[in-house]
A and B are shown apart, each in its own frame.
Chain A
Amino acid sequence: MNEVSFKNRLGIFLVLAHFGILTLVVVLWLNEYYLKEQMTTAISIIAPFFATYTTAIIKYMISGKNQRGGRGRVLSEGFVFIGFLVPLLFVSFVASAVILKAYNIGLKDFEDFKIMLGTAETIFGVYVGQLIFSLFEQPKAAEKPEDGGAR
Chain B
Amino acid sequence: MKTTILLAAQLASLLVAANGVCAEIETVRQVDAMSLEEIGTCSLALTGWIERAGLGDKLQVLQVRRARHPDPAVGASTLRLELRWMTEAETWEAAQGEYGAFSDSFVKSNGDAPTERLFYKLVQTCKVPTAQASAHVHVLDIEYYSYLNASGSLFSGSSNRRMTVAKAAVPAPAPSANVPVPALTRCAKTRVNGGNVPLLRVQEVIKRYFEPRGTFSALEMDGFSLHFKVRGLRGEVLHDHRYWENLEAVLFITSDNGQKLLQLNLDGGFAAGGGNTPPAATEFVNMEQAHSKELQDYASKFLLDLTPKLEEGMK
Interface residues in chain A, defined as those with a beta carbon under 8 Å from any beta carbon in chain B: 29, 31-35, 38, 102-105, 108-111
Some 23 contacts from A to B, beta carbons below 8 A apart, are A32-B241, A32-B243, A32-B272, A33-B273, A33-B274, A34-B272, A35-B271, A35-B285, A38-B272, A102-B274, A103-B273, A103-B275, A104-B273, A104-B274, A104-B275, A104-B278, A105-B275, A105-B277, A108-B280, A108-B283, A109-B280, A109-B283, A110-B283
Interface size on B, residues (CB 8 A): 15
Look across to chain B and name the residue whose beta carbon is closest to the beta carbon of A106: B277
Which listed residue, B241, B242, B279, touches A104 by the CB 8 Å rule?
B279
Which residues on A sit within 8 Å (CB–CB) of B285? Answer: 35
Interface residues in chain B, defined as those with a beta carbon under 8 Å from any beta carbon in chain A: 241-243, 271-275, 277-280, 282-283, 285
Q: How far is the CA of A111 from the CA of B271 in the complex (A)?
A: 14
Which residues on B sit within 8 Å (CB–CB) of A109? Answer: 279-280, 282-283
Q: How far is the CA of A103 from the CA of B280 in the complex (A)?
A: 12
Q: How far is the CA of A111 from the CA of B272 in the complex (A)?
A: 14
Inter-chain contact A108/B277, CB cutoff 8 Å: yes
Inter-chain contact A32/B242, CB cutoff 8 Å: yes
Query: Which of B272, B280, B283 has most A Cβ within 10 Å?
Result: B272
- Additional 12 contacts, C-beta under 8 A, given A103-B275, A109-B283: A32-B241, A33-B273, A34-B272, A103-B277, A104-B273, A104-B275, A104-B277, A105-B277, A108-B277, A108-B278, A108-B279, A108-B280
Q: How far is the CA of A111 from the CA of B241 in the complex (A)?
A: 24
Which residues on A sit within 8 Å (CB–CB) of B273? Answer: 33, 102-104
Look across to chain A and name the residue whose beta carbon is closest to the beta carbon of B282: A109
Which residues on B sit within 8 Å (CB–CB) of A35? Answer: 271-272, 285
Q: How far is the CA of A33 from the CA of B283 in the complex (A)?
A: 12
Q: Is the interface of A mostly helix, strand, loop or mixed?
A: loop
Q: How far is the CA of A56 from the CA of B15 in the complex (A)?
A: 70
B286 to chain A, nearest CB (A): 12
Which residues on A sit within 8 Å (CB–CB) of B279? Answer: 104, 108-109
Which residues on A sit within 8 Å (CB–CB) of B271? Answer: 35
Look across to chain A and name the residue whose beta carbon is closest to the beta carbon of B275: A103
Inter-chain contact A33/B272, CB cutoff 8 Å: yes
Which residues on A sit within 8 Å (CB–CB) of B275? Answer: 103-105
Which listed residue, B274, B277, B280, B283, touches A31 by the CB 8 Å rule?
B274
Leading 9 A-B pairs by shortest Cβ distance: A103-B275, A108-B280, A109-B280, A104-B277, A104-B273, A35-B272, A104-B279, A33-B274, A103-B274
B90 to chain A, nearest CB (A): 45
Which residues on A sit within 8 Å (CB–CB) of B274? Answer: 31, 33, 102-104
Look across to chain A and name the residue whose beta carbon is closest to the beta carbon of B242: A32
A28 to chain B, nearest CB (A): 8
Q: How far is the CA of A26 from the CA of B273 in the complex (A)?
A: 13
A121 to chain B, nearest CB (A): 23
A16 to chain B, nearest CB (A): 24
Q: How far is the CA of A110 from the CA of B277 in the complex (A)?
A: 14
Which residues on A sit within 8 Å (CB–CB) of B242? Answer: 32
Q: How far is the CA of A110 from the CA of B281 in the complex (A)?
A: 11
B240 to chain A, nearest CB (A): 10
Q: How far is the CA of A104 from the CA of B310 in the complex (A)?
A: 37
Look across to chain B and name the residue whose beta carbon is closest to the beta carbon of A112: B280
Query: Which of A104, A109, A111 has most B Cβ within 10 Å?
Result: A104
Q: How far is the CA of A57 from the CA of B109 in the complex (A)?
A: 59
Look across to chain B and name the residue whose beta carbon is closest to the beta carbon of A33: B274
Q: How far is the CA of A29 from the CA of B277 in the complex (A)?
A: 17
Q: How far is the CA of A34 from the CA of B241 in the complex (A)?
A: 12
